[in-house]
Chains A and B, each alone.
Chain A
Amino acid sequence: MKSNAAYAIYILWLRQIKRYFRSKSRIIGSLGQPIVFLVALGFGFGSIFAKAGGGNYIQFLSPGIIAMSIMFSAVFSGIELIWDRQFGFLKETMVAPVSRLTIMFGRTLGGATTSTIQGVIVFLITIAIGFRPDIAAVLWGLLFMFGIAIVFTSFGTALASTMEDMQGFGLIINLVNMPLFFLSGALFPLTTAPFWIQWIAYINPLSYGVDGLRAAFTNVSLYPIGVDAIVIAGITVLFMSIGSWLFSRMEV
């Protein structure tokens, strides 16, 4: 039974990977936003940022945009749960002889993997635009990308377990995503920001993802990289537990 749970997780993961690579429009479409942010903000604010003594803005902004694209696609992957529920496939998995926890875990892993791939694509684009990361730390960077992905996939799945309609889900995630992104230190340094923004950033999970990525790629960060890693790991456990609990209560 144990080995079957592991294989079932693999099967659920594989399903999402296959669907992701088949949906070319989704891959291309979700690259639009990060590219616009990179080009418009990166080149638009670049000279002001440099004049203010912040250094190369692309270097500062890129980890933030990578984190953003991962977060958006991770939270959004929750919508697949709503699709599956509405179009019946969820029932097929719910009557299978595997536990809800296994199903939740497989789905989250799948959504997190596709979001990480999305992040890697954006990472390559930032390099093309002029980002010069510390290649030695690329493994750390990947680890943080996956960390951000899993935190926000669990969040999206947890949210989707409590909702039935898709438009509602879209509105709610916009409501949540935008403030989390703008107040995470992805776009500007938090050290010089007003006090209250710093406080919001303290409790914003994305701040630690952005900071960790920045630490890994550019060796510049607010907190030590170990602190970022521990916070992300802790939030992962918390969100996964909440998500599993909500998912186990779902009726189909």
Chain B
Amino acid sequence: MPESAISVKNLTKKFNHSFTAVNDISFDVPKGSVFAFLGPNGAGKTTTIKMLTTLLHPTSGVLRINGMDPVKHPHDVRQSFGIVFQDPSLDDELTAYENMFFHAGLYGVPRSESPQKIEDLMKFVELWDRKDSMVKTFSGGMKRRLEIARGLLHTPAILFLDEPTTGLDPQTRNYIWSYIKKLNEERGLTVFFTTHYMEEAERSAQRVAIIDHGKIVMDDTPTNIIANSGAANLEEAFIKLTGHEIREQEAGSIDQLRQMRQMWRGGKK
């Protein structure tokens, strides 16, 4: 039995003692594997990721990230993973290099090593020639690549990617997946990702868990999931398992703010 990078047992998260966002889920992500965590909007994906990455405390259940408890040892756990959030989390008013430099500082990357590491990673995502450009001048795809490079700067064992390719064109999506695959194969990086593009999960993940209404409804290899549900591909299997009903998600104030900021900047992104 291979060692687990992430181990989740009977994990539950309730908000305000009434709404159960995540309801008694268990799964295991083996070290060095690529794991897809799928589900419709509001199914509990982001809540689960927040608990795995120390941003939320579970109501009950046992969590282990690289063998450590995120509630008891948040700093050690944080040191051991990198994350690319669903929403951009770069500082637009800084250059690409400064974003990397500040991350290295916050994560205590030894100062003697960080310039070389920053250069290597920025070359890896092909942004080194733009290192002195302000991030606000970057396209969505460039920002994503920079976020991936940043997430890897403190050499984590696990990389969390929350919808890393949403809103990107197919070229950029392929590009990003080729990076991620390379990282997984060459460095043995464990990758935990969510996506709404089922073909990405089918192609890249060794194992897929599907969550719906806070419960895991399926946890298997993509091939088995497709075969067991009698579908032609993962998308069909996904729809069969989670139904046709459209999920409403509360629109955050963030969407309004984005619009406002664009207006203030005269329509520039």
Within the complex, the shortest CB–CB distance from B138 to chain A, in Å, comes to 14
B108 touches A15 (CB 8 A): no
Please state if A8 and B93 are interface contacts (CB–CB under 8 Å): no
- With a CB–CB cut-off of 8 A, which chain A residues contact B76? 97
Question: How many residues of A sit at the interface, in one of the four size bands?
Answer: 20 to 34
B54 to chain A, nearest CB (A): 7
Expressed in whole angstroms, the Cα–Cα distance for A201 and B254 within the complex equals 39
Report how far A132 CA is from B76 CA in the complex, Å: 55
Over the window 77-90 of chain B, the binary record of Cβ atoms lying under 8 Å from chain A Cβ atoms (1 yes, 0 no) is 01100010101111
A95 to B80 Cα, complex, angstroms: 11
Q: A4: which B residues are within 8 A, CB to CB?
A: 108
Most buried by A among B56, B92, B106: B106
Chain A residues within 8 Å of B75, by CB: 1, 97-99
Asked, given contacts A11-B102, A95-B55, A95-B83, whether A88 binds B94 with beta carbons under 8 Å apart, the answer is no
Q: A87, A96, A166: which contacts B106 (Cβ < 8 A)?
A: A96
Q: Is the interface of A mostly helix, strand, loop or mixed?
A: helix
**Nearest CB in chain B: distance from A244 CB, A:** 17
A-B CB pair tally, cutoff 8 Å: 81
A88 engages B98 (CB within 8 Å): no
Q: Which residues between 47 and 94 of chain A lie within 8 Å of chain B, taking CB atoms?
A: 86-89, 91-94
- Given A19-B93, A86-B257, A165-B253: A97 touches B87 (CB 8 Å cut-off): no
Let me know if A89 and B90 touch, CB within 8 A.
yes
- Contact present for B89 and A11 (CB under 8 Å): no
Say whether A7 faces chain B, with CB atoms less than 8 Å apart.
yes
Q: Is the beta-carbon distance between A98 and B106 smaller than 8 angstroms? A: yes
Kindly state the separation between the CA atoms of A94 and B55 in the bound complex, as whole angstroms. Answer: 7
Q: Is A136 an interface position by the 8 A CB rule?
A: no
What are 11 A-B contacts defined by CB distance under 8 Å?
Answer: A11-B106, A15-B98, A15-B102, A88-B88, A92-B90, A92-B150, A93-B106, A95-B83, A97-B74, A97-B75, A165-B253
> Which residues of A line the B interface, CB within 8 A?
1, 4, 7-8, 10-12, 14-15, 18-19, 22-23, 86-89, 91-99, 164-166, 251-252
